[in-house]
């Protein structure tokens, strides 16, 4: 307590406010706390109570009063020995305003200043989960669980952090421990978490039971309904998935995850206009899928006098696929710059689609007027798999210097030269995306195709498989040189020296498509919306041949078809 002690009347009003809160009368509680604060402006207790009420979305504290409370909290937090609760609530208000990094910094400061204030560490772990900083969340939660063992909410959050790191066995054990110690009101969320984990383990029937149990305990549980919709998606029951996602949005209209999942269901059903509208919601979430350039507004399609910044988002394949639409914007007289990773710049600058490329640390062009996420161009232009708005193919190219360099290294061909890429980024493979990668050993029947020169273009995770099993020792004699080539221009040049690429659904398949390289694309049972539900071709890339699983998690049919195609191609000297 700071300053003059509160009057008996202030204490009475404050206590009355607490009693109102216990009865669920938030409006009356707020009035009592206001009166207590007006009687003694230096008393922190009613200020903290009001600041906590202001965090409730439909609470009794309006926007103008919330701003006053934040200013008062800042005053309290700036004192020499501030009450840690003031800093904590200030961070929660920053989080409520969407200022996630500010909230993180305030909590980190609080942890340094008051290490025993465990609520700060627990809330910071929650923020790290929202920001997809899984390892940092795990570290904080493990410390807190040591201090407070058997706390179900801590175990539940830890299981989420482990799940998102694909440590499914540990996640399951932790969630089961949370169930043992959970209270009745915590158990619906624990059932949902258990369902999510077993769903990732491929046990959908068990997952469905967990979600339905959660709904029995808590009807209209948002995450239970959402995950049942995802199961329907996985089973290609797209209409049912759509209905479940719409049911969630009636309960929680601003849920970003549900809008994105609904977008996938709609796009797979060729409901493109609404699908793109839902997909735009991805840009409103706390997940950092892109870094927008500062000082510019998002482009809504208005006429521009300056240049437009095309912002890289999510995977590299998305940029390779949608950078093509810079050509259509150029036809409309719009000057475009690419804003994204340096490793893409030299390749994209050769395309002549752009005025130039800039990274996050570069100064923006003086005439930069607005920005747009690259995958939003499809929505703006009305593109879809049915109407891809094809630009001249190929729209990316490799320099003659790089091409000559790799022609010299690889030398003359003794037979058809085929590149292999079997695994995408494991960090992007969850739930609906899980299963799109292939174990290299699964492709070993292709080795029966005599006379083929095999090249591995697998980098990073999955590349260790190249030296295992039947493919070990079967690679091109210059494979070590290829393994050392990480630049996309070099990768593109190697592809140009090949007769084709066999790939899982990954960024490399999009690079090959943009370069006009023949590609045999191996797709899981439920392919992503951009490849459609069926068919062996795609208007996005005329030189792609799509080979789809007939049964879930079974690659035998597409590999048998691929083996036949390679045999035919080998016989005709592809």
Per-residue model confidence as pLDDT tens digits over 391-422: 778 999 999 999 999 999 999 998 999 999 99
- Residue 407: Cβ within 10 Å count: 14
* CA dist 531 → 272, 318, 323, 386 (Å): 14, 13, 18, 10
State the DSSP code for 360.
Answer: T
d(CA 285, CA 256): 6
Identify which of 559, 406, 550 has the alpha carbon closest to the alpha carbon of residue 479: 406
Predicted pLDDT at 569: 67
Q: Cβ distance 245 to 223 under 8 Å?
A: no
Question: Which helix H or strand E contains 510, and what residues bound it?
Answer: helix 507-515
What pLDDT, in 10s, does the model give residues 188-235? 999 999 999 999 998 999 999 999 999 999 999 999 999 999 999 999
d(CA 507, CA 128): 27
d(CA 265, CA 248): 14
What the block records as the tokens of 175 is 């969630």
d(CA 208, CA 288): 30
Instruction: Name the E strands within 5-117.
Output: none
Predicted pLDDT at 417: 96
What pLDDT, in 10s, does the model give residues 154-174? 999 999 999 999 999 999 999
What the block records as the tokens of 337 is 């710059």
* CA dist 543 → 495, 514, 536, 559 (Å): 13, 10, 11, 18
| Whether the model pTM is above 0.95 | no
Predicted pLDDT at 289: 79
* CA dist 348 → 339, 421, 492, 494 (Å): 11, 22, 12, 17
Predicted pLDDT at 435: 78
Question: Which residues, given as ranges, of the chain have pLDDT below 50?
Answer: 1-2, 573-574
d(CA 242, CA 240): 5
Position of tokens 């998690």?
553
């Amino acid at each position: 307590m700071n300053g003059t002690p509160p009057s008996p009347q202030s204490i009475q009003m404050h206590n009355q406010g607490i009693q109102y809160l216990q009865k669920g009368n938030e409006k009356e509680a707020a009035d009592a706390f206001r009166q207590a604060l007006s009687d003694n402006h230096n008393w922190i207790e009613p200020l903290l109570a009001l600041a906590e009420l202001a965090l409730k979305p439909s609470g009794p504290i309006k926007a103008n009063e919330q701003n006053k409370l934040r200013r008062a909290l800042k005053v309290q937090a700036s004192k020499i020995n501030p009450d840690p609760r003031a800093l904590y609530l200030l961070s929660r208000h920053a989080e409520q305003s969407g200022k996630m990094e500010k909230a993180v910094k305030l909590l980190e400061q609080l942890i340094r200043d008051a290490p025993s204030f465990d609520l700060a560490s627990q809330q910071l772990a929650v923020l790290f989960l929202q920001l997809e900083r899984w390892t940092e969340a795990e570290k904080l939660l493990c410390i807190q669980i040591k201090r407070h063992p058997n706390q179900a909410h801590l175990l539940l959050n830890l299981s989420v952090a482990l799940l998102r790191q694909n440590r499914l066995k540990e996640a399951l054990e932790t969630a089961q421990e949370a169930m043992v110690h959970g209270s009745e009101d915590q158990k619906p969320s624990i059932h949902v978490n258990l369902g999510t984990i077993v769903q990732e383990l491929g046990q959908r029937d068990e997952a469905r039971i967990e979600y339905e149990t959660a709904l029995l305990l808590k009807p209209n549980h948002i995450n239970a309904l959402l995950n049942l919709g995802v199961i329907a998606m996985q089973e290609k029951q797209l209409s049912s998935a759509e209905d479940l996602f719409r049911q969630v949005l009636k309960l929680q209209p601003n849920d970003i995850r549900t809008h994105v999942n609904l977008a996938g269901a709609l796009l797979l059903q060729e409901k493109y206009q609404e699908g793109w509208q839902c997909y735009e919601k991805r840009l409103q979430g706390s997940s950092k899928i892109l870094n927008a350039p500062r000082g510019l507004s998002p482009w809504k399609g208005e006429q521009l006098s300056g240049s437009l910044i095309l912002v890289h988002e999510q995977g590299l394949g998305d940029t390779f696929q949608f950078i093509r639409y810079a050509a259509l914007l150029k036809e409309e007289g719009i000057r475009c710059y690419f804003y994204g990773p340096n490793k893409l710049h030299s390749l994209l600058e050769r395309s002549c689609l752009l005025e130039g490329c800039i990274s996050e640390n570069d100064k923006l062009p003086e005439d930069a007027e607005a920005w747009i996420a690259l995958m939003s161009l499809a929505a703006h232009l009305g593109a879809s798999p049915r109407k891809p708005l094809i630009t001249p193919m190929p729209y990316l190219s490799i320099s003659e210097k790089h091409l000559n360099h790799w022609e010299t290294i690889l030398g003359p061909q003794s037979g058809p030269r085929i590149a292999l890429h079997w695994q995408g980024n494991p960090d992007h493979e969850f739930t609906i995306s899980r299963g799109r990668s292939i174990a290299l050993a699964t492709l070993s029947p292709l080795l029966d195709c005599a006379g083929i020169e095999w090249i591995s273009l697998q980098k990073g995770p999955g590349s260790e498989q190249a030296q295992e099993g039947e493919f070990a020792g079967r690679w091109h004699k210059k494979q070590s040189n290829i393994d050392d080539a990480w630049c996309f221009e070099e990768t593109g040049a190697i592809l140009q020296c090949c007769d084709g690429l066999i790939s899982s659904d990954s960024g490399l398949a999009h690079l090959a498509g943009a370069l006009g390289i023949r590609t045999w694309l191996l797709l899981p049972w439920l392919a992503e919306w951009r490849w459609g539900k069926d068919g062996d071709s795609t208007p996005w890339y005329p030189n792609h041949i799509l080979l789809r699983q007939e049964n879930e998690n079974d690659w035998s049919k597409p590999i048998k078809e691929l083996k036949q195609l390679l045999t035919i191609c080998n016989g005709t000297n592809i």
